[in-house]
Structure formats: structure tokens, C-alpha cells
Amino acid sequence: MSKVAHYLQEHLLGEVMTSTDAIDYFSTDNSIFSIRPLMVIYPRNENDIRKTARFTWQLAERGKMIPITARGSGTDQTGAAIGNGIILVFSAHMNRILEFDSKSGVSNVEPGINFGKLQQTLHTHGRFLPSMPSSGEYSTIGGAVANNASGSDLIKYGELKKYVTGLRVVLANGEVIETGRMNKKELNRKLGLTSFEGEIYRQVDTLLEEETKVLGQSQVDVLKNNAGFNLIDIKRKDGSFDLTPLFVGSQGTLGIISEVILNTEFYNPETTLLMATCDNIDQLQIIVTELNKLSDLPSAIEIIDGNLLREAYAINGSVFKGLLEAPFPTFCLFIELDLPRDRLLKKVTKKVTKILEKYATTVKVEYESSQQDKIWKLRDISSYLLSHNQGVNRAIPIIGDGAVPYLKLGEFLIGLYKIFEKTQLVPSLWGHVGAGIIHLQPRLDINQVGDRQKIFKLMEEYYALILSLGGTISSESNDGRLRTPYLSSMYNSELMTVFEKMKMIFDPYNILNPGVKFGTSIDDLKSILRQSYSIDRLFEHLPRN
């Protein structure tokens, strides 16, 4: 154990690990990249985080850099949960529900709590937290907040930032702050503080005032945009101010979250599910457009394409039983209505069915929950693609997180299929089509030089397509390292400078997750590419003696 690790172990309650086993494990997340950390720390409480941050800050003041990367379960697909310094792992100890008010539905939780477990608890109180990522059974709330995650219910309930009302955050120098929306008077009090917190409020306020015109350029006409920082929601027209939306989605680059305050929604266990098939892109575009015009929006409009159906059927045909059989349609749609079983549901179901009967090839309405589970299993067949190895080829996460305005969906799909035709790869698609989000993970062998080159060619063409349609390169997940080199093709240099200034305000020594959102080039990405990729290690790594 190094001197630094030894010193920290003596001063922290949580474990400090430098074993080869731990370093190996934490050198990867669910991205295609690998970086070996110096050590792994499992903080027991906020004080452990504070002491770690204070220690690295003091080292940085003396010119010695040890970066800190916060980590939940490491399911991140953009290389944002790895780093060459300290990895602070929250899932081991800081994983409790601290408070839950069953009347208001507000909950205070530690960042390392598993999303799925929190959801189960909320269900027992008749509540739920929207925006659960499909990796939610394996990942943490802290990771979801830092990524501003979303789920299939995005179209009705919005993204996670809507539900995070406050945070406790450990700043780069070890100070702890509490965030939440405040009025002008409260802001003035913060502006007068002599601490680092006060300095941050003063500088952020000034930056936002000076750059008001530039801020608007970060707005993209999509349901969800995670590229860069969220600068728009900090200061409202009424003069209120809140740093929470800035921290949400900042991927541990501005501060380390030690507690999250969440709003929740009423849980409706009796949803209605419609499944439809269609045979061409034009039909799909009309259906999605018409559904988006409804005043009572579906909670999910999901899609899988014929390529995915064929590939998944070859791996495991059992989930198709009684639902679909070959020859498979070009697209299969899943539309969920999250409404109480009353007249409104009848009315909306009738409207949705009418749209589908006009433009889709087949339509099925399902009210019964066990039958719905079977249909959702079919929607989830993308997991077969991700976990099934085809020889040495793996489905790798490189280009599947863009979103376009839903009216441009047809053009997006045509463009995607063309890109893949040129590279002679088969695109198997799925995603939140109602929100213009399409996921895909091409099968490649990242150990082969030719395939490694294809990764960068595909990314270049994919981002060019998305930007030509007015979309965003990061929607569901986030920028991480993977998309950092491409951020400047989405935003102009003025806006990129504002992002950089914001980072400097919070993290002047660049201690917090460096290389994420800033400072990673395409050559840097090439140098950290893993030799092989697999999703097999999607489980928690807890401290061992």
C-alpha cells in the first residue's frame, strides 16, 4: 500500500483498497475504455468524502494531483466511472434511505442506494420515482442523478432532474453545501459568504449574468439533452436560484453528491399496454407524430426493429411465444398508458387504438398485468444482444445515445440504416422512439485494428447525422469520456468556453473526474480502448477483507 493510501486508511472509517483485484475491477466500467486507478475508497459517511476531498485539494495546492472519480455501480457506458486517481465507491456503505415522508412522497437517500431497491420500497408506499434507467436493478441513485438518467417513461414524466429537489454536495476543497431552490434574499445571503461556497455563488451568478445570450445556445429541440452542463435551469426569471440542476447530469465533475432529496409520483400498478407492428418508416413516423399530439400522452412509446427481433429470436425464441412469429415486422411498437381505470383511460385507449388501426399492421391491447409482463419481456430483448457473444464480436456501446426531434425520426432511421449498410454491419435498434431516442450497439471485435478504426468512423458519421437533424449527441446517458471530443461539434466555441469557466469555478485544480466533459481528444480515447469488451461484470463489487 502506498504512503498516501496508508495515510487515508488511517484517517477514514471506510476501507481503502489497493489490491490488484480491486484495481483490476475498477479499471473498467460498462464502457469500452479502461484506466487503472491508484486506489479505491469505500466511504462510510460524508465525513470520509470530505476528508478525501480536503486531502487531494491540499496536495493539489502543492502541485501534486490525485483525481477523484465518484462511482455508484459502474454501469456507465461512457467511461465516466473510471479514472487514474481515487475511485470513491458509494454502493458499499452509503446506501440507505435516510428519510421518507409518506404524505408528501419526498425522500432523502444516500447516493449508493440501488435504484431498483428504492423503487420497490416506494411501491410499498404507493409511490414511484420516474426515470428509472433500464440498468436500474444494477445501478445507484447517485449514478442516475450524476448522469441525469431517464427511462421509458420520459415522454410522460420527464427526466430525473425534475425529481431532484435538493442535494448535499462535497465540494472539491472538502466543504459541504446544501442545494435547493432559493429566493433572491436567500441568494444574497449565499453571495455574502466568505467560504468557497460563497465564492462559487458569486462567480456562477456573475457568469450567468454576463453570458445570458450564450446560454440559450445550449437549448436543443429534443425532449432530453444531457450534452455539456445544464445552465438554463439555475436562474429563473423570478430571480430564484438553484445549483441542483447544474450538479444533476454533471457526472461528478463539479462536486461529489453525498445525499439526494427526491420528489416521487403516485404509483399506478394498473397500466394499459398496446403492442403494434408496422412495416415501414413512413408509417412509424406518422404513428409517433400522432401519439405525440395527444393531450394525455402515453407514458412510454417504445420500439424494437426487425433486425433485433431476428437476432434475439435466434438466441432465445421462447419470449416470442404467443406474441410474434416469423416473418417479423420491420418495427414493433409498445405503447403504455399510465392512467387510472376510468372513463379517461377508455377515451385515451380508444384514441390510441384508432391511430394504430389506421397506420399499423397489427394492434393488440392488453390490460392484464401478467400478459403485459410477457410483452415487456419482448420489448427487453435488447438485453440478449448485449449479453450474447457472437464469436469474438460484442455489442459495444459507442453510438447509441443520440436523440433527434421526434418529427425527424424517419430521416434519422433512414440515415442510420445507410451508415450501417456502408460498413456492412447489421444495426439492431431499440429505444424510446416517442422521444426521438434510438439505441444501438454494433457488434465489433475491439481487439481487431480494423474494427477499432470502424468505431471512430461510425461515431463520426453518427454524430454528423444527428447534428444535421438538430439533435443531441447525449440524451439518455451522458457525455463521459466517449462523447467529450465531439461536444465542440455540437456547441459553438462561446458556449464551450462558458462550460469551461463553470468547471473552473467549482474545480480550479481539475481534481473531480478529469477527462469527463473536458480534456479528452479522439487520440486519448484510442489510447484507453480496452482489448476486449463484455457486460458480464455487471454486478456490485463490495469491499473484501
Ligand X SMILES: Cc1cc2nc3c(=O)[nH]c(=O)nc-3n(C[C@H](O)[C@H](O)[C@H](O)COP(=O)(O)OP(=O)(O)OC[C@H]3O[C@@H](n4cnc5c(N)ncnc54)[C@H](O)[C@@H]3O)c2cc1C
Contact 99, 52 (CB under 8 A): no
Site string for ligand X, 66-105 (x = CB under 6 A): ---xxxxxxxxx--xx--------x---------------
Beta bridge partners of 440: 429
CA distance 512 to 301: 37
Pick 81 or 339: Cβ nearer ligand X? 81
Residue 151 in the binding site for ligand X (CB under 6 A): yes
3-state secondary structure of 261: strand
> Residue 422 CB, nearest distance to ligand X (Å)?
27
Pick 233 or 279: Cβ nearer ligand X? 233
**Location of C-alpha cell 403494434:** 276
> Residue 503 CB, nearest distance to ligand X (Å)?
14
> Residue 365 CB, nearest distance to ligand X (Å)?
25
**Location of C-alpha cell 428519510:** 99
Pick 86 or 207: Cβ nearer ligand X? 86
Which residue in the set 14, 26, 28, 29 belongs to the binding site for ligand X (CB under 6 A)?
29
Beta bridge partners of 39: 86
Of 6-14, 64-72, 229-237, 304-312, which part binds ligand X (CB under 6 A)?
64-72
DSSP symbol at 161? G
Residue 134 in the binding site for ligand X (CB under 6 A): yes
CA distance 49 to 41: 9
Query: Which cell is 147 given?
Result: 448522469
> Residue 345 CB, nearest distance to ligand X (Å)?
26
Angle formed at CA 48 by CA 3 and CA 142, multiple of 5 degrees? 120
Pick 345 or 541: Cβ nearer ligand X? 541
CA distance 503 to 511: 11
Residue 476 in the binding site for ligand X (CB under 6 A): yes
Rg (CA), the chain: 23
**Location of C-alpha cell 461484470:** 537
Residue 251 in the binding site for ligand X (CB under 6 A): yes
> Residue 256 CB, nearest distance to ligand X (Å)?
5
**Location of C-alpha cell 427526491:** 262
Of 3-11, 135-143, 323-331, 455-463, which part binds ligand X (CB under 6 A)?
135-143
Residue 142 in the binding site for ligand X (CB under 6 A): yes
Pick 69 or 107: Cβ nearer ligand X? 69
Closest CA to 85 of 8, 177, 171: 8
Residue 74's region, left for phi above 0, alpha for psi from -120 to 50, else beta, is left
CA neighbours within 13 Å on the CB side: how many for 170? 28
Query: Which cell is 524 given?
Result: 486519448
Closest CA to 518 of 483, 489, 467, 494: 483
Pick 222 or 516: Cβ nearer ligand X? 516
Residue 428 in the binding site for ligand X (CB under 6 A): no
Query: Which cell is 165 given?
Result: 429537489
Which residue in the set 14, 43, 85, 143 belongs to the binding site for ligand X (CB under 6 A)?
143
Contact 530, 34 (CB under 8 A): yes
> Residue 77 CB, nearest distance to ligand X (Å)?
5
Pick 31 or 277: Cβ nearer ligand X? 31
> Residue 30 CB, nearest distance to ligand X (Å)?
4
Which residue in the set 264, 283, 474, 477 belongs to the binding site for ligand X (CB under 6 A)?
477
Residue 218 in the binding site for ligand X (CB under 6 A): no
Pick 328 or 384: Cβ nearer ligand X? 384
Which residue in the set 16, 144, 309, 437 belongs to the binding site for ligand X (CB under 6 A)?
144
Which residue in the set 92, 146, 223, 356 belongs to the binding site for ligand X (CB under 6 A)?
146
Helices (H) and strands (E) in the chain, counts: 20, 19
C-alpha dihedral sign at 56, 253, 530, 18: positive
Residue 472 in the binding site for ligand X (CB under 6 A): no
> Residue 41 CB, nearest distance to ligand X (Å)?
12
CA distance 87 to 155: 34
Residue 249 in the binding site for ligand X (CB under 6 A): no
Count the site residues for ligand X by CB under 6 A. Answer: 37
Q: How many CB atoms lie within 10 A of CB 198?
A: 14
Is beta strand 68-71 parallel, antiparallel or unpaired with respect to 86-89? parallel
Pick 14 or 133: Cβ nearer ligand X? 133
Of 130-138, 329-337, 407-415, 417-425, which part binds ligand X (CB under 6 A)?
130-138
Which residue in the set 150, 285, 307, 472 belongs to the binding site for ligand X (CB under 6 A)?
150
Query: Which cell is 332 given?
Result: 414493433
Which residue in the set 130, 133, 405, 514 belongs to the binding site for ligand X (CB under 6 A)?
133
Of 189-197, 248-256, 297-305, 329-337, which part binds ligand X (CB under 6 A)?
248-256
> Residue 192 CB, nearest distance to ligand X (Å)?
27
Pick 145 or 409: Cβ nearer ligand X? 145
> Residue 438 CB, nearest distance to ligand X (Å)?
13
- Helix 281-292 and helix 343-359, axial crossing angle in degrees, nearest 10: 160
Beta bridge partners of 40: 17, 87
Q: Output phi, psi for 114, to 5 deg.
A: -70, 135
In the bound state, the residue with its beta carbon closest to ligand X is 143
Pick 147 or 372: Cβ nearer ligand X? 147
Angle formed at CA 228 by CA 225 and CA 233, multiple of 5 degrees? 65
Residue 386 in the binding site for ligand X (CB under 6 A): yes
> Residue 104 CB, nearest distance to ligand X (Å)?
24
Closest CA to 432 of 145, 137, 222: 222
> Residue 501 CB, nearest distance to ligand X (Å)?
20
Contact 231, 157 (CB under 8 A): no
**Binding footprint of ligand X on the chain (CB under 6 A):** 29-30, 69-77, 80-81, 90, 111, 133-135, 139-140, 142-144, 146-147, 149-151, 251-252, 256-257, 386, 476-477, 513, 516
